Amino acid sequence: MDYYAWMQLLHGAWTTAWISMVSIALGVVIGLVIALLRMAKLPIIDQVLGVYVSWARATPLVTLALFIFLSFPSFGISLDKHFSAILCLTLNTSAFNAEIWRNAFINFSNGQKEAAEALGMQRLTYFRRIMFPQMVIMSLPALVNEMSFLIKGSPAIAVIGVVDLTRVTNRIAAVTYEPLLPILCAGVLYMLIIGVLIKLQQIAERKADYLTS
């Protein structure tokens, strides 16, 4: 591969990274909001959000990307391909994150809630200072695992024209007729992106252990 091919790979890796990171950040927050709304035990809201979570989790990313990119123009709404990619990945990961957060809610100890109520602590203060920090620690491995799956599933956005790492790799292989090297390089770059997430998880866990010890 020549210098131009290497620069293409790095540009594709950057596109994959920033689209995935934005989608991950939005997905974690939206997933938390969905979990909070479902735990509020409002029947209609819970049912609607339950249908959304099931639909988003069951729909393949390629199908979801095409649906978003092609359906909006039929209503006179033109979406940028990068925005469509972020929307697709966010819809998918927020559904999985919602279940991770909801599981943390369900498995959280009621004893701490009862103790906080006995001390006269307000619900918002209890959630912010006691419940949520512990939920983050409990959910961190599952959240990072979901982030890794999202990054590995992100090549689906290439179907709507986003020039991500996988699409660049295919282009280089088609031009050079030597697919092995660009594929190996792409694999290393994906490993580096996911490796950063895993390293951040380990740092966060060590910090949490230090603060709670």
The structural domain count of the chain equals 1
- pLDDT digits over 35-62, tens only? 999 988 888 999 999 999 999 999 999 9
**Domain of residue 118, residue span:** 3-212
pLDDT band at 212 (very low <50, low <70, confident <90, very high): low
Residue 150: the pLDDT is 95
Residue 211: the pLDDT is 58
Residue 183: the pLDDT is 93
Q: What is the pTM of this model?
A: 0.91
- pLDDT digits over 176-211, tens only? 888 899 999 999 999 999 999 999 888 888 887 765
**Token digits of residue 178:** 């030597």
- Cα separation of 213 and 208, whole Å? 8
- pLDDT digits over 141-162, tens only? 999 999 999 999 999 999 999 9
CA distances from 54 to 72, 124, 142, 185 (A): 22, 29, 18, 35
- CATH number of the domain that 43 lies in? 1.10.3720.10
Which one-letter DSSP state was computed for residue 177? S
